Amino acid sequence: MSPKILVVTLNPSIDTQYFMDSPLKPGVQRVTRVERTAGGKGLNVARVLKKLGNDVVCTGFSGGYNGQWIQDSLMNHGIQQHFVEVQGDTRICLSFSGPEEFQPFEVLEAGPEISAEEQEKLKEVVEALGDGMTAGVISGSLPRGVPHTYYQELIQIFNKKNVPVYLDTSGEVLNQSLKAKPLFVKPNLEELELFSGTAIDSEEDIIDAAKDMMEKGAANVLVSLGAKGALLVSDKEVWKANVTPLKKAYPVGSGDSLLAGVTYALSNGKSWPEALRYGCACGVSNAINPQTGNVELEQVETLLNEIQIERVRKEVTNSECSRV
Ligand SMILES: Nc1ncnc2c1ncn2[C@@H]1O[C@H](COP(=O)(O)OP(=O)(O)OP(=O)(O)O)[C@@H](O)[C@H]1O
Ligand SMILES: O=P(O)(O)OC[C@@]1(O)O[C@H](CO)[C@@H](O)[C@@H]1O
């Protein structure tokens, strides 16, 4: 039976990507192309998981016309969904990309206010759908009104059902969520620095901060490093993935694609280093393609052969790493 994965996205968005001829500057500018996708981190994960062949169910809060647009889009991708309808309007997030020298940037709305009653309904949905799931993915920011401890409560619901949780969030929400001991946490470097409260300058620093995150409750930590690949820190081993840096990248959603690839691989019985390889292939494929949260399967297959995975032990120097 194929793995079944419940993806929780509390703060979905219509991701609107503007392609520009030149960097933004004051005054009127016109876009050359616009792409809209059902986003918010979890929905990118869900789309990639589905493309990789997993059975995926999405839940979260959905409101107004934007929420309906997202539900229609997921339906067109054949993704099952059980959203809690809310009073407020689901948000829109903008990203801008252009020529090579133009660094992409994003403008994110906070999301609607969610009432206590709506929050309770979502817990009931997770309670009801969690049974029989191979894994749960919880990803992204919280909309307004939702307490920092909310993910912690959702993880506890999954824990009671022995469903492993893959988590991607940051700041105080992450700190609180760690207390419920998720299986897997995926910070990027910026999020890891926020967690540790210091600048991170070396691989050793990354491993130390990830170990600290594990002491606070994460069973495994995957640190995504953009064009520098990713580091997977578990209690016994540390693995590093090296990717070929892209000259022109569309990185929005690459972290979500990485998380989808790892979740897919581990849910299908692959080893940690293979899961890391799979995740990075998905991250790079997303960064090659202009569409947010999209991978191309043939490209992923090719990339799997190009990504180098090496075992790193904290105690040893880099020259003592072993390749697999
Ligand atoms: N410029 C790039 N060149 C090659 N690979 C990339 C590039 N950017 C991202 N990747 C791949 O995607 C993975 C995730 O990227 P990144 O660390 O930027 O995630 P992120 O910051 O969580 O992104 P987001 O929050 O937008 O989803 C990397 O580990 C790498 O495999
Ligand atoms: O506000 P969040 O949920 O942290 O991030 C939202 C977001 O930037 O993340 C995705 C890229 O990872 C986009 O789909 C979306 O716009």
Residue 68 token pair: 């309906």
Cβ of 255 less than 6 Å from ligand 2: yes
CA–chain centroid gap for 269, Å, is: 20
Q: What is the mean predicted confidence (pLDDT) over 68-87?
A: 97
Which residues are within 8 A (CB) of 236 and not within 5 positions of it... i.e. 6 or more apart? none
For the chain, the C-alpha Rg in angstroms (whole number) is 19
Query: Which numbered ligand comes closest to the C-alpha of 143?
Result: 2
- Label residue 98 by pLDDT band (50, 70, 90): confident
Q: What is the DSSP string of 167-213?
A: EE--HHHHHHHHTT--SEE--BHHHHHHHHTS---SHHHHHHHHHHH
Nearest ligand, measured from the Cα of 39: 2
Degrees (nearest 5) of the Cα angle 198, 10, 78? 120
Whether pLDDT at 324 is above 50: no
Q: List phi, psi (to 5°) of 293.
A: 65, 45
**187 in Cβ contact with 221 (< 8 Å):** yes
**Residue 294, amino acid:** N
Q: Give the tens place of pLDDT for each residue, 204-237.
A: 999 999 999 999 999 999 999 999 999 999 988 9
**Phi, psi at 204, each rounded to 5°:** -60, -45
Q: Which ligand is nearest to the CA of 289?
A: 1
| Residue from 8, 19, 282 nearest 138 by CA | 8
d(CA 70, CA 12): 8
Q: Which residues line ligand 1 (CB under 6 A)?
A: 188, 224-227, 229-230, 243, 245-246, 249, 251-256, 258, 280, 283-284, 287
Distance in Å, CA 122 to ligand 1 centroid: 30
Range of the domain at 165: 4-323
**What CA–CA distance (Å, rounded) separates 57 from 207?**
33
- Ligand 2 pocket member 63 (CB < 6 A): no
Strands 105-108 and 91-97: antiparallel
Task: Tell me, in angstroms, the distance from the centre of ligand 2 to residue 314's CA.
Answer: 32
- Tokens linked to 196: 């540790």
Distances (CA, A) of 251 to 11, 95, 104, 181, 225: 20, 11, 8, 29, 11
Tell whether ligand 2 has an atom less than 6 A from the beta carbon of residue 93. Answer: yes
Tell me, yes or no, if 55 is annotated catalytic: no
Q: What pLDDT digit, counting tens, does each position of 235-252 carry?
A: 889 999 999 999 888 899
Mean of per-residue pLDDT scores for the chain: 94
Ligand 2 atom nearest residue 37's Cα = 14
- Closest listed residue to residue 302, CA positions, set 321, 283, 285: 285
By alpha-carbon position, which residue is closest to atom 31 of ligand 1? 280
- The CATH number of the domain holding residue 8 is 3.40.1190.20
Longest dimension (CA), the chain: 57
Written as six digits, the tokens of 239 are: 């693995």
Q: Is 168 in the pocket of ligand 2 (CB under 6 A)?
A: no
Q: Which atom of ligand 2 is nearest to the CA of 15?
A: 16
pLDDT (tens digit per residue) in 118-153: 999 999 999 999 999 999 999 999 999 999 999 999
Give the residues across from 93 on adjacent strands: 15, 108
* Total domains in the fold of the chain: 1
CA 319 to chain centroid, in Å, comes to 31
d(C-alpha 298, C-alpha 47), whole Å:
16
Q: Compute the distance from residue 140 Cα to the ligand 2 centre, in Å.
A: 6
pLDDT of residue 314: 52
Compute the distance from residue 285 Cα to the ligand 2 centre, in Å.
18
The catalytically annotated residue of 55, 131, 212, 256 is 256
Percentage with pLDDT > 70 across the chain: 96
